[in-house]
Chains A and B, each alone.
Chain A
Amino acid sequence: DAGVTQSPTHLIKTRGQQVTLRCSPKSGHDTVSWYQQALGQGPQFIFQYYEEEERQRGNFPDRFSGHQFPNYSSELNVNALLLGDSALYLCASRRRTVNYGYTFGSGTRLTVV
Chain B
Amino acid sequence: SQKIEQNSEALNIQEGKTATLTCNYTNYSPAYLQWYRQDPGRGPVFLLLIRENEKEKRKERLKVTFDTTLKQSLFHITASQPADSATYLCALGDSSASKIIFGSGTRLSIRP
- Contacts across chains A and B counted by CB atoms under 8 Å: 59
A100 adjacent to B46 (CB under 8 Å):
yes
B104 adjacent to A42 (CB under 8 Å):
yes
Q: In the complex, what residues of B have CB within 8 A of residue A97's CB? A: 96
B100 adjacent to A45 (CB under 8 Å):
yes
Residue of A nearest to B107 (CB): A40
B99 adjacent to A41 (CB under 8 Å):
no
Interface digits, B10-52 against A, CB 8 Å rule (1 contact, 0 not)? Answer: 0000000000000000000000101010000111111101000
Is residue B101 contacting chain A, with contact meaning CB distance below 8 A? Answer: yes
A45 adjacent to B101 (CB under 8 Å):
yes
Task: Indicate the size class of the contact surface on chain B.
Answer: 20 to 34
B99 adjacent to A48 (CB under 8 Å):
yes
Report the minimal beta-carbon distance from A43 to chain B, rounded to whole angstroms. Answer: 5
A102 adjacent to B46 (CB under 8 Å):
yes
19 pairs of residues in contact across A and B, judged by CB atoms under 8 Å = A40-B104, A41-B104, A42-B4, A42-B6, A42-B104, A43-B89, A44-B102, A45-B101, A55-B97, A56-B99, A58-B99, A90-B44, A96-B97, A99-B49, A99-B96, A101-B46, A106-B43, A107-B41, A109-B41
B49 adjacent to A42 (CB under 8 Å):
no
A92 adjacent to B97 (CB under 8 Å):
no
Whole-angstrom distance between the alpha carbons of A97 and B95 in the complex?
Answer: 11
Q: In the complex, what residues of B have CB within 8 A of residue A50's CB? A: 97
A90 adjacent to B43 (CB under 8 Å):
yes
